[in-house]
Amino acid sequence: MSDFRTVFFDFDGTIADTEPDIRGAWQNAIASLNLQCDHFDTTFRVGPSLPETALMLFPEVSNEFRNLIMQAYKNFYDEADDYSACPYPGMIEAFKELAYSGKRIYVVTNKRLKPTSKLLKKFDLLDCCAGMFTPDIVSPEYLLSKPDLVGLAFRQSCTPLPSQVLMVGDTEIDILSGKQHALSTCGVTWGYGRPGKLENANPDFIVHTADELLKLF
């Protein structure tokens, strides 16, 4: 039996498949500004932060114009009335089972607070969530990185030992962010991780299904 008291879940690619909504919002934002991004399909991926994605898609424009692009994206994505995002098989049940068993569950994500809250509500997970740590949790202007979010979440969780926290995510940045703060880490293979990157980050565990995740507890 593990001694995990606290679980940090990434959201995109870990709890739910959010790519169709995110991809569509970026495409709408680009079109609304009469821009072209010929390399969109080969460059775009879910996982990096909003500023990182904007930089990958439009490395040649000024920071000021990139901010306009990001604002257009947020207008389409953050303000959407509903989302088509679907939870991965078994993840809603696993999230609830861990919470009901007494584990403290936090969502630690590069997704901003407003869409994170709306999606957790859509999936009926808000009451199971002890807290949300998003890039804009401190300020819309001062965005926190994933490692910073993990560190902040650990401090506020009041978990006695880092090893008693399991960071669960689908990409190498989730694993490396957890390791930076000496947390236990678990990679999931159903999300947006690039081939080999997740494994190369050397998570303590790798699982292929939600049932395998639950067996860690």
Question: What does each of the 217 residues of the chain score in pLDDT, given as a tens digit?
Answer: 589 999 999 999 999 999 999 999 999 999 999 999 999 999 999 988 899 999 999 999 999 999 999 999 999 999 999 999 999 999 999 999 999 999 999 999 999 999 999 999 999 999 999 999 999 999 888 899 999 999 999 999 999 999 999 999 999 999 999 999 999 999 999 999 988 999 999 999 999 999 999 999 9
For residue 190, give both structure tokens. 């159903």
Contact residues for 205 (Cβ-Cβ < 8 A; gap 6+): 184, 185, 186, 187, 216
End-to-end CA distance of the chain: 6
Residue with tokens 């694993």: 175
How many whole angstroms from its chain centre is CA 158? 22
Pairwise CA distance, residues 113 & 117, whole Å:
6
**Cβ neighbours, 10 Å, residue 141:** 6
Helix (H, G, I), strand (E, B) or coil at 169: strand
Residue with tokens 């926290």: 165
Helix (H, G, I), strand (E, B) or coil at 53: helix
Output the pTM of the full model. Answer: 0.94
Say if residues 20 and 85 touch (Cβ distance below 8 Å).
Answer: yes
Type of residue numbered 195: P
Q: Which fold has domain 6-17+85-214?
A: Rossmann fold (3.40.50)
Domain ranges of the chain: 6-17+85-214, 19-77
